[in-house]
Structure 1
Amino acid sequence: MDITTLLGIALGLAALVGGFLLDDGHISGLLVYTAAIIVFGGTFGAVIVSFPKSQLKQIPKALGLAFRESKADPNGCIAELVDMAVVARREGVLALEERVQQHPNPFLRDGLQMVVDGTDPELLRSMLEVEIEAKEKIYAGYAKLFESAGGYAPTMGIIGTVMGLIHVLSNISDPESLAGAIAVAFTATLYGVASANIVYLPIASKIKARGEELIAEMDMILEGILSLQAGENPKLIEKKLKSFLQVEARADGGKDADDDGEKT
């Protein structure tokens, strides 16, 4: 479980509710079930209409991508590819067959299996690039589901508010309850805007970020497999693959990794 996703959502909600309560608000004023039905029911309905059934079935996987720890392990992949390159130079690529078949990373496993099978380098590159593009589309589709919800929710909130005001104005004979009824009506707008900006859109952004991590790892693995197939020096392969980590290294501390993989 990725605690940062849950922590971010909890912190956002706590800030909104806490600020409201500190301003002498009452928690009961935020709990309006009719507004929740309109906003959340309307949002989910709009999303269901917007996407085919096959894509809606991917929602659990999309949530898994956002709420689980990242499976990307570029440093581990580099170490394994370099080790395999050493074995391939000494004993030939066929010596990797048993090890390849047991590898848990399906992309790396399939790519190396094609190397062992003697696949042409250009065909190998083409096939792996097609697989990377397919993954990119899948992750983009995951994010689009929640981006869509984030777009519909505020509109549903406005619709809920308008419906509430219609109800209020149709019973204007009781002026004393008018202010409270208007406040309740605007709760729908709050639900719509808050859910979009604290839940749906942040989850979409998290899915995009996770997808980019995994795609970057696949790009790195692709170069490593092709370098191994070409019989390049393992040290050069290691240096080439670690260049994929330079952006991350700068983001972490403004320092690049040297040839030995240590921060300088």
Structure 2
Amino acid sequence: MDPATIIGIVLAFGSIVAMVTMEGAHLSALVLPAPMVLVFGATIAVGVASGTLKDFLTAVKALPRAFRGKIDPPQKVIDQVVGLAEKARSSGLLAMEQEADGVDDPFLKRALQNIADGTDGDELRVLLEDEIATRSRSDRVAAKFFSGMGGYAPTIGIIGTVVSLTHVLENLSQPAELGPLIASAFVATLWGLVSANFLWLPIGARMRRLSELEVERMTLLMEGVLAVQAGSQPRLLGERLRAMIPDAPVKVKADKPKGEKLKEAA
């Protein structure tokens, strides 16, 4: 589990609490049910209205992953693929069926099963690329839903403030109550901005980043298993996959001393 999103959101709300405390104000002045119901309820409602019901359900299902999501580091993927290449060279491609039984990743499991079944390399590439593209589209739908709510929330907060100020204008005959009424009117705007910038936009950005990392991982696996099917040498395959990773250290085999080369030649 990568706690970056949870830590960031907690620190963001903690900053507000710290500011309110340092100003000598009370949190109860900000936690008002009426504006919060309007901002959160209407934001979710217009988010649903901006797409389809299926988009909403997809976003809800993807929400836990935004907090718990973790992508395997590239080096772990490379080590796994190199191990498969070594197994294929020693036991043949039919051994990939046995390897597929011990794999939890559905993407890799299907790829290995197709290799064991003798699927053509070009057809397998098309199949895996289509699966990657489908996963990417699904992730974009969820990310777009939350980013869209981040755009709606501030405006809905302003609507809540306008509605509250209308109520304030109805009580101009009671000057003693104008201050508290005006202050509570701007709470809707506050929650609109806070919910957008502390929740919806970060969650949408987090989902996009996790999607990018997942696509990179699946692409690395795809190139790896296709190379395994083609019979690539494990060490060269590892170097090739490391070359696909930004800032990854490329292991270079040191040249042997001239004396050792002569002994091997003899």
- When the two structures are superposed, what TM-score results if normalisation uses the length of structure 2? 0.90
CA positional deviation for 1:194: 0.5
Aligned 1:70-81 pairs, distance under 5 A = 70-81=70-81
CA positional deviation for 1:72: 2.6
Structure with max Cα Rg? 2
Change (3 A) 1:76 1:260: farther
Aligned 1:176-187 pairs, distance under 5 A = 176-187=176-187
Do the aligned partners of 2:71 and 2:213 also contact (CA within 8 Å) in 1? no
For residues 118 and 55 of structure 1, the distance between their equivalents in structure 2, rounded to whole angstroms, comes to: 37
For residues 43 and 21 of structure 1, the distance between their equivalents in structure 2, rounded to whole angstroms, comes to: 28
For residues 145 and 89 of structure 1, the distance between their equivalents in structure 2, rounded to whole angstroms, comes to: 46
Runs of 4+ in 1 over 4 A off after TM superposition: none
Specify the alignment match of 2:199 in structure 1.
Answer: 199
CA positional deviation for 1:73: 4.1
For residues 64 and 75 of structure 1, the distance between their equivalents in structure 2, rounded to whole angstroms, comes to: 26
Q: CA RMSD in A?
A: 1.7
Aligned 1:184-263 pairs, distance under 5 A = 184-245=184-245, 247=246, 250=247, 256-259=248-251
Do the aligned partners of 2:99 and 2:112 also contact (CA within 8 Å) in 1? no
**How many residue pairs end up in the alignment?**
253
Letter in 2 for 1:33: P
Specify the alignment match of 1:95 in structure 2.
Answer: 95
Change (3 A) 1:158 1:207: same
CA positional deviation for 1:61: 2.7
CA positional deviation for 1:242: 1.4
Specify the alignment match of 1:21 in structure 2.
Answer: 21
Letter in 2 for 1:114: N
CA positional deviation for 1:196: 0.3
- When the two structures are superposed, what TM-score results if normalisation uses the length of structure 1? 0.90
Deviations 1:101-122 (A, max 9, x none): 3311111111121111111111
- Identity among equivalent pairs (%): 37
Deviations 1:233-254 (A, max 9, x none): 1111111111233x2xx4xxxx
Which deviates further from its counterpart, 229-238 or 13-22?
13-22
Specify the alignment match of 1:47 in structure 2.
Answer: 47
SS of 2:72 mapped into structure 1: coil
